[in-house]
């Protein structure tokens, strides 16, 4: 059974109503048969895109404090040592995962622990793979802490199409690996900032699945 994320309920309902109305209107007001079918196919395609975007497949996380899993579905587009200016104010290992509009857009906790920091930043809507997207786009930064990894920051970043970031993490909350931590609507990316020397289990270009794919381990 296909599950949908709660952030999509209103949009799915509106899209469904518009689709049904559009199909009926085309049937009643367009006389050319092939044109009726073409319009109806386009409407159904639009509905399918909306439904697949908000799908929320069930994932079973390893629940391993010594493992870090992907927070989202997507493609690993950056692995590099960078200066992280917001929270650490020092060198960290950045791993960035880009989500296309066809990816599942649920954000999941990469590890179990405690939420130490959670902050929203308004900003621009540069394309998500732009080098400055991590510091200039609309974004939310969240820091999780556990004994194995210490502090790990993940950053939800809006893209050119994403107009709303949803973040459920609040300071003091307990995070459970693989559980729902938020949602980014319509194209985006997530950056992870890890301790230097972290034992990574992914490479550039890898496609990962949120909540289950191993990113790093101790």
Q: Where do the structural domains in the chain lie, given as residue ranges? A: 6-53, 67-217
The answer to which of 26-30, 54-58, 111-115, 187-191 has the lowest mean pLDDT is 187-191
pTM above 0.75, yes or no: yes
pLDDT mean across residues, the chain: 91
At 119, give phi and psi (nearest 5°). -145, 135
Please give the CATH number for the structural domain made up of 67-217.
Answer: 2.70.70.10
C-alpha triplet 106, 169, 162: angle, nearest 5°: 45
Q: Pick the residue with more confidence: 31 or 108?
A: 108
pLDDT score of 161: 61
Neighbours of 178 (CB within 10 A): 23
User: Please, what sign has the CA dihedral across residues 177, 65, 190, 84?
Assistant: positive
Distance CA 159, CA 71 (A): 17
Q: Among all residues, which ones are annotated catalytic?
A: 188
């Amino acid at each position: 059974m296909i599950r949908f994320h709660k952030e999509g309920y209103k949009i799915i309902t509106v899209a469904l109503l518009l689709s049904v109305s559009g199909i009926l209107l085309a049937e009643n007001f367009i006389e050319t048969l092939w044109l009726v079918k073409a319009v109806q196919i386009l409407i159904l395609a639009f509905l399918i895109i909306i439904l697949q975007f908000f799908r929320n497949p069930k994932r079973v996380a390893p629940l391993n404090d010594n493992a870090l899993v992907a927070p989202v579905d997507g493609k690993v587009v950056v692995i590099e040592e960078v200066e992280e200016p917001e929270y650490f104010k020092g060198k960290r290992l950045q791993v960035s995962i880009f989500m296309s509009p066809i990816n599942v857009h649920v954000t999941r906790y990469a590890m179990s622990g405690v939420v130490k920091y959670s902050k929203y930043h308004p900003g621009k809507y540069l394309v998500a793979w732009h080098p400055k997207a991590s510091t200039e786009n609309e974004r939310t930064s969240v820091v999780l802490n556990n004994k194995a990894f210490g502090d790990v920051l993940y950053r939800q970043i809006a893209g050119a199409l994403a107009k709303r970031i949803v973040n459920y993490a609040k300071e003091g909350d307990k995070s459970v690996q693989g559980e729902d931590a938020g949602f980014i609507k319509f194209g985006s990316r997530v950056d992870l900032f890890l301790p230097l020397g972290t034992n990574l289990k992914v490479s550039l270009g890898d496609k990962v699945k949120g909540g289950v794919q191993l990113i790093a381990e101790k």
